[in-house]
Amino acid sequence: MALGALIGAYQEDESGGLRALLPLAGRTLIEYQARCVAAVGAAPVVVLLEHVPVALNEAFERLRHEGINIIAVSDGNEAASRFEAGAPILLIGDGVAPPAELLAQLAEDSEPAVATVPDDEQHQAFERIDGANRWAGVAVVEASALGATAAMLGDWDLQSTLLRRTLQAGAPLVRVSPQAGEPLLVNSAADLAAFERGLIAASRGRRRDWASRFVLPMVEEFATERLLETRVRPEWLIHAALGLTLVAAFAFTRGWLWPALGLLIVATPLDLVARRLGMLRLRPLAPRLLARRLLWPFAGLALLALGWWIARHGGGWGAMFAAATAVAFAEAARIEQGNGEIPGQIWLFSRRNAILAAVPFALGGAWTLLLAALALYAAVSFFLVQHIGHRIRPN
């Protein structure tokens, strides 16, 4: 049975606005909640509210533009009518920012369950269930329970009543692990600041080359935080990186060496920032996105363009041979390694490593020596990948 989601969006925050419209990750809390449930396969996403202010309607339109089937309803009976009979429903409390890992855990089982946090001072804002537990603001309920609750509700609060009925029906309690991240019940924009910082930190991921691990983090962090509040799409950054690399290749053929290298340097963090924006907006880039896969071929084209220009201006055939050798060994190493990781990988030849390694040679005007160094770098990297890979995966 298809999983659905029901989100509350009717309670006010400290300033008198809706909790659902508090800012988070460059958008609003309701958009984060909807993207979270959509990411685990919930559809439709039904939002229970009393009225639809302009800002909330704009948020809904942005979500629909992203392909999320979001439906606004004003009462429990209408909400119940939107789900298939017997379907499991992810229930998200009003003003709750849930961790995506918790939703994925509950969605995987799709059985009635209630997420809980301890009944202690730290969690006083959450609704008490019993003497030891409080509701974490996330649960899985059945559509039949929602319909029955809406039919007998009267003036009672739908979320609380539905929660009690689910507990009375024997739904198990699932204690939220602090290590995996706890839901946050917000009442002001300040409440979301630390949660947002946690999301940004969690989006960093692993770094597979020394350039992204040691040189680019500050630039990447700054760009991610600034672009998060804009409407810039991650795909645009990938296309920008491709465009800059292609322009750099052209600039190399004209002998504009420093401007070309500058364009390549500007392009180095863009795919990292794009990946993080996609994660933070819960719209990750497709693993086989064509534009992303073209970054390396375009960079190889730029290297060949540099070799071609140097070969025609005093470097001789050796310059073009060195550039072609670097491209060939780098591609061979990439194929040999595949998608796996090997010890010491960050020091091996990569697009970003090669671009930043070129800077000291360029400062000294040693462009021909740069090509020879890159060819050697790529060759050594290939043989190391082959040797280490075969040692890890013996025949």
pLDDT in tens, 301-337: 999 999 999 999 988 999 999 999 999 999 999 998 8
* Average pLDDT score over the chain: 90
For the chain, the domain total comes to: 2
Least confident of 67-71, 91-95, 177-181, 385-389: 177-181
Range among 110-124, 181-195, 241-255 rated most confident: 241-255
With tokens 């019940």, the residue in question is: 185
Structural domain for 74, as ranges: 4-195
167 and 243 in a single domain? The answer is no
Measured between alpha carbons, how far is 322 from 317 in angstroms, rounded to an integer? 9
Q: Quick one: pLDDT at residue 198?
A: 81
Domain boundary among 195, 229, 264: 195
Query: Does residue 200 fall inside a structural domain?
Result: no
pLDDT one-digit tens code per residue, 244-268 = 999 999 999 999 999 999 999 999 9
| CATH (domain of 223) | 1.20.120.1760
235 and 367 in a single domain? The answer is yes
Domain boundary among 195, 218, 233: 195
Query: Does residue 331 fall inside a structural domain?
Result: yes
Q: Quick one: pLDDT at residue 155?
A: 46
pLDDT one-digit tens code per residue, 6-62 = 999 988 888 888 999 999 888 899 999 999 999 899 999 999 998 888 999 999 999
213 and 304 in a single domain? The answer is yes
Domain boundary among 164, 195, 226: 195
Query: Does residue 311 fall inside a structural domain?
Result: yes
Q: Are 249 and 305 in contact (CB under 8 A)?
A: yes
Both structure tokens of 79: 């909400």
Element containing residue 354 per DSSP (H, E): helix 351-363
29 and 131 in a single domain? The answer is yes
161 and 278 in a single domain? The answer is no
- Assign 371 a pLDDT band (cuts: 50, 70, 90): very high
145 and 11 in a single domain? The answer is yes
